[in-house]
Every structure is written in structure tokens, then in C-alpha cells.
């Protein structure tokens, strides 16, 4: 995110180096410094931009704005929205609680097989979410690795509950947090932790008073990514938690269901989801990510 923004001013200079002086001068004269880019790069770049921007734009263009108030207050819509926001937030909290210590472990300690563990952490990132849902069932299902024990011992049944939605979202989203935070930890100045140690701070005090404040922006960025991923989660959720309105039917599931029966409703739900996620990301970005 931020690096991409920062590299933009430099991007204008790079192509000029590779071009013959005359061509670069001509490009500079005709279109100004900002557009000194060879056509081979410019054309696919613009196509890519259009490809990313057009679909959301189409969504806005085709929205039945007049019906919006009535559609939004239709039964089930606000329930699904509320469920989505609550589960995504809970999943993010769960990821923070488990993911930050995991990231610390991966970047600050040495143990045999650490590289393997680091690779395993990213598996949910490349795993198709539906497969993730099946895998979760095999662990937490009634006859799963832990599910049977949880059921017998605590009478706890997770699949097809709101808790299952949170677990499914956390499973898929946690790698984003771990990668973001361990990147921040690796970039953070180890020297400051050494300084804290010489001043009498143990590892926990050092983590709490020095390391965590230093990687704060990284944690915030990771949490935002994590939350956005959790909000949009579909495959693992529908597999592991099912599609029960009011209990496990989050917005993406509601959109999918509506698409089969009432496409207009699907568009309205999609616009709502788009608006909510963009708004929250914008607010968080303003609050956390501008101050390093």
C-alpha cells in the first residue's frame, strides 16, 4: 500500500533512463513529466486500471437508487450486515490475540524448523477457502480431531454456529496479520530492544513498552487487511458454518443467495458491502496508517 504510493514519484524517472535521449525529450515535451512512460508499459497499465475500476463502477451505475431505502430495510438485510461486522471484528480480535505473539515467535526466536513453521503459517493464504472450510470441519466437526472431544467434554458443537463463522474468517485472515506483523518486527530496530535489556527490562516488558509501540503501524495495517479479508469471506464460511439467516448468513452469503432469486437485491447488498468496507478502511487508514 504505502510503498506503492511512495514509489510513484520515482516511477516517472525510471523509463527515461532506458529510453534514447531524443525520445525521452520528445515525450517530456508532449505530455509532461508525469506521463513519460513507454507505450508498452502504459497500455497494459491503463487496461489493468480499467479492469479494476470498472466493475465497482458498474455496480454503482446499475444500482436501483430509488428502491434503496425499501430494499435496505427489507427483513434479513440489516441482520446480515450486523452479523458480518460483528464476526469480522471478532475474527480480527482473535487474529490479533494469537497472531501477534505468533509473529513475534517467528521473527524473534530461534528454534529448529522455524522456516517450515513460517511456511505453514501461510498455507491458508494459498488454500482455496472452500478447502479450508472442509479442513475446519475435519478438526471441529462432530467427528473431527478436536470436535468430538469438545462435544463430549464441554457439550460444545461449533459447526454451523456463529462461532464457526468467526473461526472460518479467522482461519483465512490470520496469515495476513502474521505476515504483516512479522515483517514489521523484522524491520524494527533490534538495537532498541537491546537498549531496553541493558536498562533492566525483561523480554515481556521490552515487548510491551518498546517492541509493540514500534511495530504499531504494522499491526494496524495487518489488522485492517485481516478485517477486510474476514468481511469478504465466503467459501470457508459456507462450508464450515452453513448459510442460516441471522446466525451464519453473512453479507457475502446473502449476496450469493439473492443473486439466484432476486438480482436487484444482490446489487443493493453488494453496494452496501462496498460502501461499508470502503468507509471503514478510509477511516482506519486516516487514523492509523498516516502516522508511522
Partner 1 sequence: MTASLDARLVVRRPGFALELALAVAAGEVVALLGPNGAGKSTALRAVAGLQQLHDGHLRVAGRTWEEPVRGIRLPAEKRRAGLVFQDYRLFPHLSVRENVAFGPRSRGRSRREARAIADGLLERVGLTGLAARRPGQLSGGQAQRVALARALAVAPQVLLLDEPLAALDAGTRAEVRTGLRDYLAGQAAATLLVTHDPLDAMVLADRLVVIERGRVTQQGSPAEIAVRPRTAYVARLMGLNLLRGRVADGRLWLPGGGGIALTGTPESGSASSGGAVPGDVSSGGGVPAACGGEVLVAFRPAAVRLHVGDAPADRSSGGAAGSGTSALDGSRSGWSAVVEGVESHGDYLRVRLGGPIPALADVLPAEAAGLDLRSGRRLHAALDAGQLRVYPADEPDTATVTGPPADAVREGLTAPAS
Q: Which residues bind partner 1 (CB under 8 A)?
A: 189, 191-192, 194-202, 205, 209-210, 213-214
Least distance in Å: CB of 29 to partner 1?
Answer: 42
Q: Taking Cα atoms as reference points, which of 169, 172, 177 lies closest to residue 220?
A: 177
Least distance in Å: CB of 173 to partner 1?
Answer: 27
Least distance in Å: CB of 115 to partner 1?
Answer: 22
Least distance in Å: CB of 291 to partner 1?
Answer: 11
Nearer to partner 1, 16 or 197 (CB): 197
Nearer to partner 1, 158 or 221 (CB): 221
Our measurement of the distance from residue 222's CA atom to the centroid of its chain's CA atoms, rounded to an integer in Å, reads 7
What is the chain's alpha carbon radius of gyration, rounded to the nearest angstrom? 24
Asked if residue 189 lies in contact with residue 108, where contact means CB atoms within 8 angstroms, the answer is no
Nearer to partner 1, 70 or 209 (CB): 209
Residues 51-68: b if buried by 16+ CB within 10 A, e if exposed: eeeeeeeeeeeebeeeee
Least distance in Å: CB of 110 to partner 1?
Answer: 14
Nearer to partner 1, 23 or 212 (CB): 212
Q: Taking Cα atoms as reference points, which of 87, 126, 116, 121 lies closest to residue 101?
A: 121
Q: Determine whether 266 is exposed, middle or buried from the number of CB atoms within 10 Å of its CB (0-12, 13-18, 19+).
A: middle
Nearer to partner 1, 62 or 208 (CB): 208
Amino acid at each position: 500500500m504505502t510503498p506503492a504510493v511512495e514509489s510513484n514519484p520515482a516511477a516517472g524517472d525510471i523509463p527515461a533512463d532506458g529510453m534514447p535521449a531524443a525520445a525521452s525529450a520528445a515525450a517530456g515535451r508532449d505530455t509532461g513529466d508525469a506521463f513519460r512512460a513507454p507505450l508498452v508499459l502504459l497500455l497494459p497499465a491503463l487496461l489493468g486500471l480499467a479492469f479494476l475500476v470498472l466493475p465497482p463502477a458498474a455496480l454503482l451505475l446499475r444500482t436501483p437508487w430509488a428502491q434503496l431505502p425499501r430494499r435496505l430495510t427489507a427483513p434479513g438485510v440489516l441482520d446480515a450486515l450486523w452479523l458480518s461486522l460483528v464476526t469480522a471484528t471478532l475474527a480480527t480480535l482473535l487474529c490479533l490475540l494469537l497472531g501477534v505473539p505468533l509473529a513475534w515467535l517467528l521473527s524473534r526466536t530461534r528454534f529448529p524448523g522455524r522456516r517450515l513453521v513460517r511456511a505453514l503459517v501461510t498455507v491458508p493464504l494459498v488454500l482455496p477457502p472452500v478447502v479450508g472450510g472442509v479442513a475446519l470441519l475435519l478438526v471441529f466437526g462432530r467427528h473431527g480431531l478436536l470436535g468430538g472431544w469438545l462435544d463430549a467434554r464441554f457439550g460444545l458443537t461449533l459447526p454451523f454456529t456463529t462461532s464457526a463463522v468467526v473461526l472460518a474468517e479467522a482461519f483465512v485472515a490470520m496469515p495476513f496479520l502474521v505476515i504483516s506483523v512479522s515483517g514489521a518486527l523484522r524491520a524494527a530496530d533490534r538495537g532498541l530492544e537491546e537498549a531496553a535489556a541493558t536498562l533492566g527490562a525483561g523480554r515481556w516488558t521490552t515487548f510491551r513498552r518498546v517492541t509493540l509501540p514500534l511495530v504499531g503501524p504494522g499491526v494496524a495495517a495487518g489488522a485492517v487487511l485481516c478485517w477486510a479479508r474476514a468481511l469478504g469471506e465466503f467459501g470457508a464460511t459456507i462450508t464450515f458454518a452453513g448459510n442460516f439467516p441471522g446466525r451464519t448468513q453473512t453479507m457475502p452469503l446473502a449476496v450469493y443467495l439473492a443473486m439466484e432469486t432476486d438480482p436487484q437485491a444482490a446489487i443493493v447488498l453488494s453496494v452496501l458491502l462496498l460502501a461499508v468496507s470502503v468507509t471503514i478502511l478510509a477511516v482506519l487508514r486516516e487514523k492509523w496508517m498516516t502516522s508511522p
